[in-house]
């Protein structure tokens, strides 16, 4: 009897995923029916995203797992009706995408590219002093998980002295690794750039607050592709106005889409991008989903299980 895979990630994504998922399930050797609509008690696996419609998982009595199409799980992890295992998206294509996006924005600020890209005004600015080399610009990456480690390694290969910070102690070759609350102060002190790749949990809200922004080197850049609540917005705006932060590149926000009247849109030293640092790509993500369903059917442990207690 075929297994039933419910696509509950929202109708807007159905066209993008339908053929990729069908092919991935077939290639994984699974006899599966992929559907947007099934009686809850007949569903074996639930594919979820924050745009989906399921709020109550109680009727899905047979579901063996909920597979999140996003890396972040803050919109589902606290749902008290969810008793099934929850897996999040970890996909090499997503990791590569995040690494490329962060490296691009770090190099923009490091090299001061805006001066020449925006300043095409006939004025020859050849007498400006050269920017420091990467090896002279310490950068801190908050979060040393799948994405943070990839980003930190790439920056380290470019020559930046990279400090990484995580909840538990980590050892990553080439990086200065710190952890815990004391480690956070040390990681931020004197950093000329900071990249936030933490999950949104009760413990990470306002990780970058006024006191911690004050630890950065004056004029440091802040890059946030993690989640909006990681930064105290008002403190960031104050630090920008005071020159303590030279520029903020923000991909994620407390409220998305970012409301048109939000000061971030209008601040001359803030760059807003619309949560596109590392979008889930249906082709590769479908293969991750299919592999996890294959594992579930074979009685093997799921990949990328979320720890409900930790919240990520």
What six digits make up the tokens of 64?
Answer: 């063996």
CB of 200 to ligand NAP, least distance (A): 6
Q: What is the spatial distance between Cα 215 and Cα 208, in angstroms, rounded to a whole number?
A: 10
CB of 31 to ligand NAP, least distance (A): 31
Which residue number, 60 or 101, has a Cβ lying nearer to ligand NAP? 101
Residues in contact with ligand NAP by CB under 6 A are: 71-72, 94, 98, 143-148, 166-168, 170, 197-201, 203-204, 225-227, 251-252, 275, 277-279, 312
CB of 229 to ligand NAP, least distance (A): 10
**Residues, the chain, total?**
312
Which residue number, 117 or 171, has a Cβ lying nearer to ligand NAP? 171
C-alpha 227: how far from its chain's center? 7
- Catalytic residue selected from 170, 275, 295, 308: 275
Which residue number, 131 or 145, has a Cβ lying nearer to ligand NAP? 145
- Catalytic residue selected from 105, 227, 247, 287: 227
Which residue number, 149 or 244, has a Cβ lying nearer to ligand NAP? 149
CB of 265 to ligand NAP, least distance (A): 18
Q: DSSP character for 231?
A: B
Provide the terminal-to-terminal Cα distance of the chain, rounded to the nearest Å. Answer: 34
Which residue number, 44 or 200, has a Cβ lying nearer to ligand NAP? 200
Cα angle vertex 7, ends 298, 295, to 5°? 10
CB of 58 to ligand NAP, least distance (A): 26
Output Rg (C-alpha) for the chain, integer angstroms.
21
Q: What is the spatial distance between Cα 286 and Cα 211, in angstroms, rounded to a whole number?
A: 42
Q: Which residue in the shown chain puts its C-beta closest to ligand NAP? A: 145
Q: What is the spatial distance between Cα 152 and Cα 166, in angstroms, rounded to a whole number?
A: 12
Q: What is the spatial distance between Cα 208 and Cα 176, in angstroms, rounded to a whole number?
A: 20
Clarify whether 275 is annotated catalytic: yes
Q: Which residues contact 218 (CB under 8 A, 6 or more apart)?
A: 243, 244
Q: What is the spatial distance between Cα 204 and Cα 202, in angstroms, rounded to a whole number?
A: 6
Residues forming the active site: 227, 275
């Amino acid at each position: 009897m075929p297994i039933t895979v419910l696509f509950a990630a929202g109708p807007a994504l159905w066209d993008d995923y339908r053929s990729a998922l069908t092919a991935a399930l077939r290639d994984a050797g699974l006899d599966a029916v992929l559907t947007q609509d099934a009686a809850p008690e007949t569903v074996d696996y639930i594919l979820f995203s924050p745009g989906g419609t399921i709020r109550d998982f109680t009727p899905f009595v047979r579901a063996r797992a909920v597979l999140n199409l996003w890396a972040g799980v803050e919109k589902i992890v606290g749902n008290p009706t969810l008793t099934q295992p929850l897996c999040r998206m970890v996909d090499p294509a997503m990791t590569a995408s995040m690494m490329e996006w962060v490296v691009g924005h770090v190099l923009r600020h490091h090299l001061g590219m805006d001066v020449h890209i925006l300043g095409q005004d006939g004025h020859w600015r050849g007498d400006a002093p050269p920017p420091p080399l990467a090896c002279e610009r310490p950068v801190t990456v908050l979060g040393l998980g799948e994405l943070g480690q990839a980003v930190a390694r790439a920056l380290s290969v470019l020559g930046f002295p990279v400090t990484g910070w995580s909840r538990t102690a980590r050892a990553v070759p080439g990086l200065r690794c710190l952890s815990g609350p004391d480690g956070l102060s040390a990681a931020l002190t004197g950093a000329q750039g900071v990249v936030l790749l933490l999950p949104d949990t009760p413990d990470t809200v306002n990780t970058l607050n006024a006191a911690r922004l004050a630890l950065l080197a004056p004029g440091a850049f802040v890059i946030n592709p993690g989640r909006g609540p990681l930064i105290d917005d008002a403190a960031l705006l104050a630090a920008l106005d005071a020159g303590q932060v030279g520029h903020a590149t923000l991909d994620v926000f407390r409220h998305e889409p970012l409301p048109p009247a939000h000061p971030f849109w209008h601040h001359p030293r803030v760059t807003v991008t619309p949560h596109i640092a590392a979008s889930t790509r249906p082709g590769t993500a479908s293969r991750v989903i299919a592999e996890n369903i294959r594992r579930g059917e074979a009685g093997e442990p799921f990949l990328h299980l979320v720890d409900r207690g930790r919240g990520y």
